Amino acid sequence: MKPEQFQAALAQMGIDLDATQMAQFDQYYHYLIEVNQHLNLTRITAEEDVYLKHFYDSIMGAFAEPKLKELSLRLCDIGAGAGFPSLPLKIAFPQLKVTIVDSLNKRIDFLRELVGRLGLTEVELVHARAEDFSNKQSDYREQFDLVTARAVARLSVLSELCLPAVKVGGEFLAYKAAAAAEELQDAQKAITTLGGKVSTTMQLVLPTKPEPEQRNLILINKVAATPKKYPRRPGLPSKKPLK
């Protein structure tokens, strides 16, 4: 997907990017590739692949949750890595108030420099383990309208890492690949235990060659407060997922 194809594909979905936003995506791509030479941020480096599999893929979250397009949501991205999906969403929808959480300080340093270069405002960067970020002592607990996670862990684990940060009445948006149905079935008890209820599942495809790649967006409503004992201490959610 060339940059002009990226712009056109989003326009077909009602998302219009102006010249300034397209310049920001161009800067994002070039700085990502520059830093990736000495910091492992992504295996995907070809320009057309980055625009499709990182930028477009990230913005697809707005297909499942149209509120992203217009409302000044307080969004938190858990385990954002190189900034996906939160920074492409922020570029496309500048009114969003974004908090990015990552456990590796070198990635946070990269994101801080990137945010400055792109001239983005209302972006907070937090160096923390997800389990510590929204534990019962945290000021961030149950504070966000929307929490996102992409390519971080299985849904049963992700739910414990993300739902504690979602405010009651807010939402958790999980970006998953082809195994979403199996993961969703496996995560039902965890989602319910943590105060969530699945509201929407959307299956999409990325127009990759030779075969389109399946993508799944799972939107979970926060219908009740998360019990104070969750999330458990760092490492435990992945070692012993809630069943």
Number of domains in the chain: 1
CA torsion sign for 229, 231, 234, 238 is positive
> Is 196 inside a domain boundary?
yes
> Is 227 inside a domain boundary?
yes
> Is 19 inside a domain boundary?
no
Cβ atoms of 200 and 221 within 8 Å: the answer is: no
Binding residues: 79, 84, 130-131, 150
User: 112-166, pLDDT tens digit by residue?
Assistant: 999 999 999 999 999 999 999 999 999 999 999 999 999 778 899 999 999 999 9
Q: If DSSP codes are grouped into helix, strand and coil, which group holds residue 197?
A: strand
Binding residues for S-adenosyl-L-methionine: 79, 84, 130-131, 150
> Is 16 inside a domain boundary?
no
> Is 25 inside a domain boundary?
no
Residue 135: which domain range? 64-239
Kindly report the CATH number assigned to the domain that includes residue 84: 3.40.50.150
> Is 38 inside a domain boundary?
no
pTM > 0.85: yes
pLDDT category at 236 given cuts 50, 70, 90 is very high
> Is 174 inside a domain boundary?
yes
Percent of the chain surpassing pLDDT 70: 100
> Is 39 inside a domain boundary?
no
The whole-number pLDDT of residue 151 equals: 72
* pLDDT over 90 (residue 90): yes
* pLDDT over 90 (residue 206): no
